[in-house]
Structure 1
Amino acid sequence: MWTKIVPVTALIASVTLTGGTAYAAPTTPVGGEALGSRGLVAPPGVEHPPKTQAKSYVIADVETGDVLAAKDAHGRYLPASTLKTLTAVTLIPKLDKDREIRPSRNACNQEGSAVGLSVKATYKVDDLFRALLMASGNDAAMALAETNGGLAKTMRDMNAEAKRLQAYDTVAKTPSGLDKPGQSSSAYDLALIARAGLANPAFREYISTKRANFPAPKGHYEISNHNKLLGRYKGMIGVKNGWTSKALGSFVGAATRDGHTIVVSIMRHDGYFWDEVAKLLDWGFAVRGKATPVGKLVNPAPDVQAAPRASAPAAHVTPAAQPPLLDTAASRQDDSTKLVGSLVIGGGVLFGLVWLGFGIRRRRRARSRS
């Protein structure tokens, strides 16, 4: 939950992720005190939002950032494929959409939902983003991660982007959203990430496409958007839905009417949520501009320069070059123990250098006296 986030943890984690830029998290819930509540937070003077089986949700005005209502906004849950929004927001600016690639066998064999990538076919990055956001392809997610320089680099990039957006409830462990221990997001963060994506024309184009031709080893086949409200709900732009047996249903979606855009995010819904989401969107449009906001979707965090690290040169050592014992120990560490280890090792290196310098000066003085 939000209470687990403290400024020092967020600051150090972001330094580790970005290698030079730190983003300091506030001590209060991001977006306002009221959003720290586990229960319903609704504005006075208007009818409460429609009921939903979702454990957590946020309804917000995209233009102003006003959070109109929320329930357990910062509750951390498994995001399932809604995490692909962060993958897209992170990688769209980094990858040339016209670049052509042949996916690895590892990418093609990803479990869960897939668009059907083949090692025998060539794809543009543009195709892979459509597969990611329209057809929820886990194979496309891995192919994009590998195109970005590998899985490890992509996870660092995604987590750094989450911190930049102040999505501090979000910890990405996979580019696809497949369940993995330690992975999390929140309804607040999903709305925040979606808002960032909606500001990118390419992201908007991918999420709003209903059908598209997709390359195959011989010719093309058609893929369709998994968002059931696209084309059915008036003004629906799109965004992303997700489901796994552990995460249950999750969704983040945005619609525009009369020049105003409302975003709704839900998490941990154990049934058919599409009609409930439509009613939440209707409520958002009805109260927008009339209700007192209960919180705010914040803007990206300002950059804060990190202090130089004494152990910086060691960052060039790859895991494969480590002794087996250290490699095994590193694989068992969590983020906190890795940080402590880095500080201890960095401090040890610094102490050794200082002691060496002191010894050299003593020898020089001894020579000058003789």
Structure 2
Amino acid sequence: MLFAALIASASLTGGTAHAAPATPVGGEALGSRGLVAPQGVRKPPKTKATSYVVADVETGQVLAAKDAHGHYLPASTLKTLTALTLIPKLDKNRRIRPSQNACNQEGTAVGLTPKATYSVDDLFKGLMMSSGNDAAMALAEVNGGLAKTMSEMNAEARRLQAYDTVAKTPSGLDKPGQSSSAYDLALIARAGLANRDFARYISTRTANFPAPKGKTYQISNHNKLLWRYQGMIGVKNGWTSKALGSFVGAATRGGHTIVVSIMRHEGYFWEEVGKLMDWGFSVRGKAAPVGQLVDPLPEGQPAAPQQQASGGPVTQVTPARQPPLLDAAARKQTDHTKTVGSVVIGGGLLVGVVWLVYGIRRRRRGGSGA
């Protein structure tokens, strides 16, 4: 979509307005609500996703897109921004005992309990592997509190020129005013891949996680393509009943890396994402790009009101109408929690065993899945 010249920042209290580019970041073509694909090569495979981006990580070239700048609820894919923001700020060896508030977060959880201690490194694994909303809140508290963390996450989004992204929660749980886009998810993932610890967390398939009394249990990464797709590096999937399915992932083949991001998918998207990645590998270097993943702003440089994204003169454009998927959807979020971590015991996948074995979690209401 073509987005407005002003968007709200995402401080916990509503924040102030930040100037955003008057033309679509990454190129004029990415303002289209429809499919944008190169000529001279086969079309991208079909997907049920409302919005998506396929891009080359090394060059930043966008190979194909659909509604790249459309604003949608990000669900747990927003945890990529949480991780990218907090990894450089927190000592991964620091040990903490989580608050009851963190342990009682709605939705998907890794299984934190005040009866155990965890390293910050453990919390990041719980965040990016098991999509723990409890881990997200614990990390925010370690960072100095929710308000500070949200301010820093939104500042990081502005630095990345991810102007479609407004973070209201560190977990991605639906909240009025929260949004992101397929373009921004690809930007955030690209930046994350350049961080060694971020890349380690997203690519780890299984890990031992602390439990009370010095015991451990094994958690499993929710990204199914780590087991199914050749060269998959990983990144993050998400789901709520209002956001529907979202995903951003990257894979490397032949020394080249492709990133695919999708938003608002109504069903099982893993095979479709794999096909989009296959297409990306097959056309990279063979067709003119339809846009560009822009580089982050230099440290200390504020976002310009009319930041040129792709060369040439900046022109004023008319904002496209947004689909009513954000505030109203978040207000109606009433689903019950269905997932509490993913635990592997004896090679088998067992969901929710944290509750059954340790009895450390009470059933909570929430909407965030993977």
Into which bin does the TM-score normalised by the smaller protein fall?
0.7 to 0.9
Tell me if 1:236 matches 2:239: no
Question: Is residue 150–residue 169 contact of structure 2 (8 Å, CA) maintained in 1?
Answer: yes
Unaligned runs of 5+ in 2: 304-370
Task: Using structure 1 for the length normalisation, give the TM-score.
Answer: 0.78
Partner of 2:141: 146
- Please tell me the residue identity of whatever aligns with 2:181: S
SS at match of 1:261: strand
Tell me if 1:110 matches 2:105: yes
Structure number with the higher helix fraction is: 1
SS at match of 2:150: helix
**Cα distance, 1:291–1:137 mapped onto 2, change above 3 Å:** same
1:35 to 6, 30, 33: 30
1:224 to 199, 204, 220: 220
Tell me if 1:178 matches 2:173: yes
Q: Deviations over 1:34-86 (max 9, x none)?
A: 00000000001000100000000000000000000000000000000000000
SS at match of 1:280: helix
SS at match of 2:260: strand
Question: Is residue 248–residue 259 contact of structure 2 (8 Å, CA) maintained in 1?
Answer: yes
Distance 1:14 1:101 in 2: 27
1:192 to 183, 187, 195: 187
Unaligned runs of 5+ in 1: 307-370
SS at match of 2:105: coil
- Please tell me the residue identity of whatever aligns with 1:3: F
**Cα distance, 1:68–1:85 mapped onto 2, change above 3 Å:** same
Percent pairwise identity = 79
Tell me if 1:272 matches 2:268: yes
Shift of residue 13, structure 1, vs aligned partner: 5.0
Q: CA RMSD in A?
A: 2.0
Distance 1:109 1:124 in 2: 19
- Please tell me the residue identity of whatever aligns with 2:22: T
Distance 2:301 2:237 in 1: 34
Q: Which has the larger radius of gyration?
A: 1
**Cα distance, 1:284–1:126 mapped onto 2, change above 3 Å:** same
Question: Is residue 11–residue 150 contact of structure 2 (8 Å, CA) maintained in 1?
Answer: no
Tell me if 1:75 matches 2:70: yes
Shift of residue 3, structure 1, vs aligned partner: 2.0
Distance 1:35 1:2 in 2: 8
Question: Is residue 14–residue 163 contact of structure 1 (8 Å, CA) maintained in 2?
Answer: no
Shift of residue 231, structure 1, vs aligned partner: 2.3
SS at match of 2:212: coil
Partner of 2:281: 285
Partner of 1:166: 161
Q: Deviations over 1:271-325 (max 9, x none)?
A: 000000000000000000001000000001244369xxxxxxxxxxxxxxxxxxx
Partner of 2:301: 304
Task: Using structure 2 for the length normalisation, give the TM-score.
Answer: 0.78
Partner of 2:3: 3
Distance 1:145 1:47 in 2: 45
- Highest relative contact order (Cα 8 Å, sep 6+), 1 or 2? 2
Partner of 2:319: none
State how many pairs are aligned: 299
Partner of 1:245: 241
Question: Is residue 14–residue 23 contact of structure 1 (8 Å, CA) maintained in 2?
Answer: no
Distance 1:16 1:274 in 2: 33
**Cα distance, 1:30–1:244 mapped onto 2, change above 3 Å:** same
- Please tell me the residue identity of whatever aligns with 1:295: G
